[in-house]
Amino acid sequence: MIALALHGGAGAKAGRDYSVEIANMREIAQFARDSLLNGAKAFDIVTEVVRQLEDSGLYVAGKGASPNAAGFYELDASLMNGADRACGAVTALQGFANPVLVARAVMEKTPHVMLAGEGAGLFAHEQGFEPIADEAEYFTRAGRFESNHPPGTLAHGTVGCVCLDSYGHLAAATSTAGVFGKLPGRVGDTPIIGAGTWADGQTAVSCTGQGEYFIRVNASAQLAFRHAGGQALGEAADATLQQIVNMGGEGGLIALNAKGEVIVPFRSQGMKRAWFSGDSEIVSEAF
Ligand code: ASP
C-alpha cells in the first residue's frame, strides 16, 4: 500500500484561479506515485516533493517566499521520519533556496534537531549548499498575490507532504516563509516538530495555517496521539482543528496513517492540496 498527500498552503483565497498550482501539484503527486511504485522510501519522497514545491515559486515557501517586515527572507522547514522519529529543522534561515534540504542535513549530519538563523546559515554553507546569488531576482514572491488580508491578521502560505511507502513507513515534511510581514525572528509552527510536522509509526501530519495557533495546540502531535489512542484519523483532525478555530485561528492539514487512510481537512477559505491512496485517482484542488 502506498499513499501520499501534499499541500500548497491553506492561504488560498475564494474566487482566485489556482489552475496553475493545481496542475503543478498533480504533476508532483504523479512523480511521487511513480517513484513509490518503483520502491522509493517515504522519507526521500517527502524531501523531494517539498523541494519541488519550494522550487516551483508558486507557493509561499522556497522560491515563492515573501519577505518579513524588515524586507528579509527568513525561511522555516522541518521533516520527520516515522519509523525512528528522526527529525530535522531550520528556522529563520536566510540565503538558501531549499530549507527542507538543510533541515534534512541537520538531522543527518548533526546531533541536533533544529538550527536557527545565523547558525543555520553557517551550517548550510559548511554543508556545501549553494547560497542564492541575488535574492531580489530569485524570489518570485508568490505571497504578494495572497496577501490581501487586513493589516494585523496572520495571512500565510506553506508547502508540505506526508507519505506512506510500500515498506509501511511514514514520513512528513513542511516548508514555509511564514506569515506575511512577520517580525524579524518570528518562528511559526512549520519548523517545530509536534506543531507543524509529525511522523511516527502510525501517523504522519503536515499543517498549514496561522502557526501561532498550531503551536498553542501542538497540532500535529496532538492529532497523532489522539489517533494512537484509538480516535479515527478524521475525528482526531477535527478535534484538533476545532481547538484552533475556537481560539480564532484558521488553517488546515494533511494526514495519513499506516493503513493508507488520507485526510485533507481545512478550516479556511481554501487549501491547495493533492493526494492519492493506493490505486485511487490523484485528486488536486484548492477549495
Ligand atoms: N503555518 C505557517 C506559519 O505560521 C504558515 C502557513 O502554513 O501558511 O509560519
Quick: pLDDT tens for 265-283. 999 999 999 999 999 999 9
Per annotation, catalytic residue among 91, 158, 176, 203: 158
pLDDT of 144: 58
* Domains and their CATH numbers in the chain: 3-85+141-285 (3.60.20.30)
Nearest CA to ligand 1 atom 7: 208
| Active-site annotation holds for 208 | no
Each of the 287 residues of the chain gets a pLDDT tens digit; together they read: 999 999 999 999 898 999 999 999 999 999 999 999 999 999 999 999 999 999 999 999 999 998 999 989 999 999 999 999 999 999 999 999 999 999 999 999 999 999 999 999 999 999 999 999 999 889 987 655 455 555 556 667 899 999 999 999 999 999 999 998 899 999 999 999 999 999 999 999 999 999 999 999 999 999 999 999 999 999 999 999 999 999 999 999 999 999 999 999 999 999 999 999 999 999 999 99
158 lines ligand 1 (CB under 6 A): yes
* Cβ neighbours of 122 (radius 10 Å): 11
272 lines ligand 1 (CB under 6 A): no
Mutation test of ligand 1: which of 76, 208, 268 has the most ligand atoms closer than 8 Å to its C-beta? 208
Three cell numbers at 281?
A: 485517482
